[in-house]
Structure 1
């Protein structure tokens, strides 16, 4: 008999996330918004940003600004949750005088990131581990944690936040930049279909509102200090995105075709990305940077 316990379901979800990134990461690097920057998170065109390289680095810059002065110089420890191929680890190491550790569920990403750290001459001060950031060892504790487009993959955000809070030093900061659900058009069938496709395609385990997340943080001893809406600075509806929507729209005419396609990591990314674009454009989803502090 097959067990369908919550523990098995969570483990299966984590494995699906790992497979998704193992299969897609090299394509993300080749065809992402800024291939020259080796970043696989999205570009953010904040005021003053003039090109794709700057847009890809915008979130890193915002994160660094919120850590400087909050991490003890020389002896601080920073953890990048869902570090991808190490772009943010490198950026943090250059700007913050601290030991920087990254963790990614993807073996492919961890290998690329370790090579990158060695090439940058940062291997002594930085490290990337392949593992589940919901299963961190009890020690060491960190002065800051960063999570860019990663916590939504957690099977349970409430359990994750509790675990992370226990591993933060008093006064430590958790900086999260991710997609958050809104209350707009609750119950509208088109909204629910969109969010379901986003969850299935991008292997989303925890999709919550900012208010829900703040309450989870408060229960874990983390107080929300800042909530910055970056949605307006995303570039939605690029030609590539419109082409993908046409393809997926044609596939959706055939019953259950999208359900079969979403099992393949390549098409899962296309389906989830298309749903994300729709969700953001209609404000069913918002891309926000949040800063929480351990009290």
Structure 2
């Protein structure tokens, strides 16, 4: 098998994702939108949200609402795909009487999450393991899976989706909150350049439209039952976002330099974040929550 084979390319991508999060996670926690609850996903300024702590918990609230009544009390199993440092694992465990497992590709995140679970007294029914969520064992099967801003890192969604469906119990739910490509201005040079910088910077392996993703699930028995557009509730142009643009500008990071710097995790995060802001503001990308159910 050659070095440029699909299998090797996928393995190399997974390694890049792991290196990216190992290098950046502690900085995310220190300089993230909310430092009070260890959330490293985006905040949502939904109606009634008044501060950054509530904004960071908004996605978790949406998950809890969609899992309540779908996970049997006591015996239910929930899997958090790309769980970060375990903030959502903890939140779900406090809200739902179930066993909650998180999987992350980053060993740094596993260590931080382990300390968090111990501090919360949840090690009897929660765990966070280091691994690739595209390589899950056949058992156990789960009543629900959630994925916040992690699915886009998969090397191949067409291969991942059937694998996840096979590990869901009948009637189980897959809830994904992530960035999705739109068809707006498709072919426009500025759009394609923006999306390429987003892919390269944030180690994006799979960037698809919602319609494409839904079509992947249908042969595996997954039916899209909800599609919630949250883009308008993502706060763009935050101080952190403006700081990224200032850093890139002060460093004179022109497009050709970005191509060279994107291999470094710190600069990759800066470049990918800047591209994401542009993509969301121009609706080349949308931040959406999708709920799929297994027949």
**Which category describes the TM-score, using the shorter chain as reference length?**
over 0.9
User: What secondary structure does 1:111 align onto?
Assistant: helix
User: What secondary structure does 2:69 align onto?
Assistant: coil
Give the structure 1 partner of residue 170 of structure 2: 170
- Counterpart mapping for 1:193-204 below 5 A: 193-204=193-204
* 1:247 Cα deviation from its structure 2 partner: 3.5
What CA distance in whole angstroms lies between the structure 1 residues aligned with 2:76 and 2:43?
A: 28
* 1:251 Cα deviation from its structure 2 partner: 5.3
User: What secondary structure does 2:36 align onto?
Assistant: helix
How many pairs align? 295
What CA distance in whole angstroms lies between the structure 1 residues aligned with 2:139 and 2:287?
A: 31
User: What secondary structure does 1:256 align onto?
Assistant: helix
Give the structure 2 partner of residue 229 of structure 1: 229
Q: Work out whether 1:139 is the aligned partner of 2:139.
A: yes
Give the structure 1 partner of residue 73 of structure 2: 73
User: 4+ runs of 1 displaced by more than 4 Å?
Assistant: 249-255
What CA distance in whole angstroms lies between the structure 2 residues aligned with 1:252 and 1:282?
A: 24
- Counterpart mapping for 1:48-59 below 5 A: 48-59=48-59
Q: Work out whether 1:279 is the aligned partner of 2:279.
A: yes
* 1:244 Cα deviation from its structure 2 partner: 1.9
Report the more deviating stretch, 111-120 or 250-259.
250-259
> Normalised by the size of structure 2, how large is the TM-score?
0.98
> Normalised by the size of structure 1, how large is the TM-score?
0.98
Distance 1:292 1:254, change over 3 A: closer
Deviation digits for residues 98-138 of structure 1 (CA, Å, limit 9, x no counterpart): 10000000000001001100100000100110000000000
Deviation digits for residues 115-163 of structure 1 (CA, Å, limit 9, x no counterpart): 1001000001001100000000000000000000000000001111110
User: What secondary structure does 1:175 align onto?
Assistant: strand
Give the structure 2 partner of residue 291 of structure 1: 291
Deviation digits for residues 63-114 of structure 1 (CA, Å, limit 9, x no counterpart): 0100000001110000000000000000110111110000000000001001
What CA distance in whole angstroms lies between the structure 1 residues aligned with 2:243 and 2:77?
A: 43
Determine if contact 1:251/1:258 at 8 Å carries over to the other structure. Answer: no
What CA distance in whole angstroms lies between the structure 2 residues aligned with 1:247 and 1:121?
A: 41
Deviation digits for residues 156-204 of structure 1 (CA, Å, limit 9, x no counterpart): 0111111000000000000000000000001110000000000000000
What CA distance in whole angstroms lies between the structure 2 residues aligned with 1:253 and 1:266?
A: 13
- Counterpart mapping for 1:7-22 below 5 A: 7-22=7-22
Distance 1:255 1:210, change over 3 A: closer
Distance 1:35 1:253, change over 3 A: closer
Q: Work out whether 1:190 is the aligned partner of 2:190.
A: yes
What CA distance in whole angstroms lies between the structure 2 residues aligned with 1:84 and 1:272?
A: 18
Give the structure 1 partner of residue 32 of structure 2: 32
- Counterpart mapping for 1:82-231 below 5 A: 82-231=82-231
Report the more deviating stretch, 145-154 or 239-248.
239-248
- 5+ residue gaps, structure 1, are none
* 1:242 Cα deviation from its structure 2 partner: 2.2
- 5+ residue gaps, structure 2, are none
